[in-house]
Structure 1
Amino acid sequence: MITSPISRHSNVGSSRPGTRRGVVVVLVCFLMIALLACVVFSVDVAYLQLTRTKLRAATDAAARAAGEALSREQNLDASRQAAIDIAQLNYVAGDPLLLDVDEDIIFGHSEQQEGGSWSFQPDGEPINAVRVFGRRTRDAPSGSVPTVFGRVFNVLDFQPLSSATVVRLDRDICIVVDRSSSMKLYLTDTAPTMSTSDPRFCNPPNMSQSRWGALSLAFDRFIAALYTTPQDEYLALASYGSSGTWCNYSNNVADINQQLSEHYSDAESAMSSLSNSKFNGATNIAEGIRSGIDALTNQSTSRPFAAKTMVLMTDGNYTQGQRPRDVAPEALAHDIVIHTVTFGDGADQNEMRAVAAATGGNFYHAPDAETLQEVFEEIALTLPVMFTE
């Protein structure tokens, strides 16, 4: 028997090339859709995070402005307006942040709890804090934030919300005054120092004509301003010059003339005693700073939760001791802010400006007696604020 070979072909597991290409195209389409969804999602998430960051910054700025205005102006309407003005200068998602005067700016009372946290009571008395809400919600003045690609998935907008609360702090203040010989010069004098042969050298300062007399009036105006603030301030007085004995009167390089006290009359009495003394000497500003630090960190008189402020004044240049700006970090280490004041044309403005900058304080220059009073008053009314949330 003759048999013919049989040819056998199996189609199992095989497909035509055209069919395979079609499957790949479909798969690529699905992957492209998924990739596009991821891109859409990523863009909107990044935009949302950027918007939240800007909203937080704008809200913080508005709250700080409200707190500072409340301290400075002692007026709720002025505080509200300050928050509104600063908020609208900040753009969130391309639009100014607008605040609702009734819903977004809340005044109240904050108290620090045992654990260190702060509790805010809306409408609480006495008012010492303000809370600001920054809203980009549908019912907010600025409206919600439209999405970039989210509308592909029917997500038309998002509604970020931020809040910030600031509390005005009570202060422990030390005024550190220059009692070098030059402070006994008259306001009309042009000499930078006082000669030992000057007939005024061995006498107390002339309170109606001397630089010290002008300082004394500024000191009184500072205290008068403190009486108008709602915070509880404790006040200390320190002075500096150089050590030595002149005219049978001994001077230390620096003194704490009055420790922190809630009674301003204590500092006034200490200032009066200095005014009646025959002080003399050079100008060791660095030791004056250290005396101020000691007064503000005295555990028996300072308050642990009070903001610490030093007001450092001079009419000249440091002539003894370390460079003042090199000592300023010692104050910063104790969270002490130093506001510096120079009086007259002969004072070293650059050095005192550097001291203030090193501690986050302000620098002021008073060319005359009237400006000196205004500067001291402004410092007294420039109260600190702190974020509590």
Structure 2
Amino acid sequence: MKRYKQNRSGTIMVLSAVMLAMLSTIAAFCMNAAYVELAKSEMRLACDAAAKAASINLGLTGDETEARTRARQICQKHTVAGEALRIRNIDVDFGHASPSGSGQYTFTEGGTPSNSVRVHASFVRREGGMAALPAFGSFLGQDDFELDQDSIATRIDNDVCLVVDRSGSMAWDLTGDAYSYPGELHGKSIIQNYFLPPHASESRWSALSSAIDTFLSILDANPYQPRVSLVSYSSNFEFGDFNSLVSSIDQPLTFDFDSIRT
């Protein structure tokens, strides 16, 4: 019986074409996925920078309008998928963020005291709108993509403890000379002056009080107000009914700065 050999010429070309199409599709998916992830990173970076800039500006000026303007300026300096990213004033929100039981912070829009800024961005306000996929968008059934991003910058206020010297030397004047007392205390005995109040305007104690008042006034004007405590130190001393402790907590942590001043 005569056998006929099968004609398989061109089979490898068909297989190669199929494999090439599959590899091209996989490559397109990978390129598009990488491009989208890059755009996500760029948008996250832009939003984070804008939120941080607004938070810093708000802390320095206390002006929400100026903080919004700064956020928009910083955001526009960043490009996402090749185009500048723009945000509007309504995309910048202010509020309060506080830690939850899990250790994460929860943002409350409009909450007080204001310590957080949230920035929202999307391709809706990006120059050029939605971004086109780089590879085979029409073939894969999606020509473009859109992204949204929220970033929150929170300023964590630190508690402040003022530690002051209340020893007898704080009644001296500002000349730098030991046991040199100002005003009506000048010329009196050291023991006598030790038990008298410091001079109201020319003593080291008055200068310290003025410095503390200035410091607290700056904190009062800042939208981010920490708690403040007052601790003083001297030396253990007893003389009749008079006694002095080496250190004392004169005012625990408080938001009431007037209690520190008094």
Shared fold (TM-score greater than 0.5)?
Answer: yes
Q: Is the 8 A contact 2:76 2:84 kept in 1?
A: yes
Give the drift of 1:219.
1.4
Residue 82 of structure 1: CA displacement?
A: 1.8
- Does residue 15 (structure 1) correspond to residue 6 (structure 2)? The answer is yes
Q: Which residue of 2 aligns with 1:324?
A: none
Matching residue within 244, 254, 259 for 1:261: 254
Measure the CA separation in 2 of the matches of 1:46 and 1:233: 44
Question: 2:172 touches 2:180 (CA, 8 Å); kept in 1?
Answer: no
- The answer for unaligned runs of 5 or more in structure 2 is 182-189
Q: Which residue of 2 aligns with 1:79?
A: 67
Aligned counterparts of 1:97 and 1:216: Cα–Cα separation in 2: 50
Offset at residue 84 of structure 1 (A): 1.3
C-alpha distance in 1 between matches for 2:173 and 2:38:
59
Equivalence for 2:184:
none
Q: Is the 8 A contact 1:107 1:127 kept in 2?
A: no
Q: Does 1:161 align with 2:148?
A: yes
2:35 corresponds to: 47
Across the aligned residues of Structure 1 and Structure 2, the Cα RMSD in angstroms comes to 3.9
Query: Alpha-carbon deviation of 1:133?
Result: 0.8
Task: Tell me, yes or no, if structure 1 residue 133 matches structure 2 residue 120.
Answer: yes
Quick one: structure 1 residues 172 and 152, their matched pair in 2 at CA, closer, same or farther if it must change by over 3 Å?
Answer: closer
C-alpha separation between the residues in 1 aligned to 2:243 and 2:150? 59
TM-score normalised by L of structure 1: 0.51
Letter in 1 for 2:118: R
1:217 aligns with 2:210: yes
Distance 1:75 1:109, change over 3 A: same
Gaps of 5+ in 1: 1-7, 270-389
Aligned equivalents of 1:255, 1:73: Cα separation in 2: 36
What does the per-residue CA deviation read over 1:131-190, in whole Å, with 9 as the maximum and x for residues that have no partner? 31122x144346333332244636443211101245667x5733322428786776564x
**Alpha-carbon distance change, 29 to 250 in structure 1, aligned in 2, over 3 angstroms:** same
Shift of 1:67: 3.0
Which of 14, 23, 31 matches 2:19? Answer: 31
Cα distance in 1 between the residues matched to 2:173 and 2:23: 81
Q: CA, structure 1 residues 141+215, in 2 after alignment: closer, same or farther (shift >3 Å)?
A: farther
Aligned counterparts of 1:111 and 1:216: Cα–Cα separation in 2:
33
- Cα distance in 1 for partners of 2:55, 2:218 equals 18
1:304-343 pair list within 5 angstroms: none
* Partner AA of 1:53 in structure 2: S
Deviations 1:296-340 (A, max 9, x none): xxxxxxxxxxxxxxxxxxxxxxxxxxxxxxxxxxxxxxxxxxxxx
Counterpart residue number, 2:55? 67
Secondary structure of 2:159 counterpart: strand
Paired with 2:165 and 2:98, the residues of 1 have a C-alpha distance of 40
SS at match of 1:118: strand
Structure 1: which amino acid aligns with 2:13?
Answer: V
Provide closer, same or farther for how the CA distance between residues 144 and 185 of structure 1 changes in structure 2, counting only shifts above 3 A: farther
Q: The residue matched to 2:89 in structure 1 has which SS?
A: coil
Query: In the alignment, what sits opposite 1:143?
Result: 129
Aligned to 2:231: 238
Alignment of 1:275-314 (within 5 A): none
Cα 1:33–1:130 change in 2 (3 A) is same
For 1:40, what is the secondary structure of its paired residue? helix
1:58 to 46, 66, 79: 46
TM-score by length of 2: 0.71
Number of residue pairs the alignment of both structures matches: 244
Q: CA deviation at 1:108?
A: 5.5
Q: Distance in 2 between matches of 1:88 and 1:163?
A: 16
- Identity across matched positions, percent: 27
- Counterpart residue identity of residue 106, structure 1: D
Q: Equivalents in 1 of 2:113, 2:160: separation in Å?
A: 25
Offset at 1:52?
0.8
Whole-angstrom CA distance in 2 between matches of 1:84 and 1:69: 12
**Tell me, what secondary structure is at the counterpart of 1:263?**
coil
Structure 2 counterpart of 1:143, which letter? G
* Counterparts of 1:208 and 1:47, CA distance in 2: 68
Distance in 2 separating the partners of 1:176 and 1:48: 51
Partner amino acid, structure 2, of 1:219? I
2:165 matched residue in structure 1: 179
